[in-house]
Amino acid sequence: MNTMLEIRKVSKLYSTYMVGIKEKLLGNKVYTNFLIHGTVTGRLSSRNPNMQNIPRDTTASVIKTMFIPPSGKLILQVDYSQAELRVMAAQANEPNMLNAFNAGYDIHLATACRNNDWDYDWALKKLESEDGTPEYTKVKTERKYAKTINFGIIYGQGPKKLAEALEITKEQAASRLTEYYQNNPKVAKFIKSQHRKVKKDGYVVSIFGRKRRLPDIWLIGDSNWGKRSEAERQSVNAPI
C-alpha cells in the first residue's frame, strides 16, 4: 500500500509539474492567470498553472527549484498569520480570541492555556525550552490539540472527525468541543446564527457583502442530513 501511494504521489508530480508545465511554457517562461472569480467564496485563485499550489521544499525540492525568477526579481511566498481565525474572532466578536490576538499571543497556545488554566508566559517558556520534560510534552500536545480544534471549528468538524484527527475517542472529542464552546461562547453563538440565517434565507454574506448561495437547505429541509450539514458547514466557512 505504501509503495502504491508513493507511486501515485510521484505520478501526480510528474504529470502536473513535468509534462504539465512543459505544455504551458512560452519560450522558457511560464505565466499564470490570477482570477478573482475562480472560486465560489471569492478568494484569489490561480490557473494554468496553479502557482498557489507549488509543492514545498519538504515534499518535492526538485520541483520547487524549477521556478526561477528573472534577473533582479524575486519569488515571494507570503501567508497571513492565522487569517481565518482572526476573521472568525472579529465576526463572532469573541473577547478571548480578540484579546489573545491583540496581545500578540500564539492563538493555539492561548487556547490551550484557557483549556488547562495555565499562565500563558509559563506555557510559552515551557514550549520554547524544548527540554523534553513531561511538562514540555504536555504543553506541546495540548497546543497541537488546540490548533486542530481551532481550525476544525471553521470547517464544521464534529466529534467523529475531531476524534480521528486527534486519535482520541469520540466521547473525548465531544468533551473537548464542549469545552471550547464554553471558553468561547460567542463563537458558538456566531455559528448558530449562521445556521439560522442559511436556513431562513438560503445564503450567507461575507463582511464585504459577497453572497454565498446555499439553496439546498431550502429544498431539502431536514430530509437529507448530509446535504443539510454541508450547507451549515459552508454557512460558517464561506464568509470567513
Given a cut of 90, is residue 37 above it in pLDDT? Answer: no
Per-residue confidence (pLDDT) for residue 9, from 0 to 100: 82
Mean pLDDT score, 114-135: 94
- pTM for this model (two decimals): 0.78
Residue 46: helix, strand or coil by DSSP?
strand
Q: pLDDT: is 145 or 53 the higher one?
A: 145
Alpha helix positions (H), the chain: 2-13, 20-23, 57-64, 83-92, 95-102, 107-116, 120-129, 134-154, 159-166, 170-183, 185-201, 216-220, 225-237
What are the pLDDT digits (tens) for 204-236? 999 889 899 987 665 655 567 778 888 888 999
Q: Would you state the pLDDT for residue 223?
A: 66
Confidence at residue 147, expressed as pLDDT on a 0 to 100 scale: 94
- pLDDT recorded at residue 222: 57
Tell me the average pLDDT across 82-108: 95
Mean pLDDT, to the nearest integer, of 5-24?
86
pLDDT confidence tier of residue 184, bands split at 50, 70 and 90 = very high
Nearest to 140 by CA among 124, 151, 163, 154: 124
Mean pLDDT throughout 98-121? 95
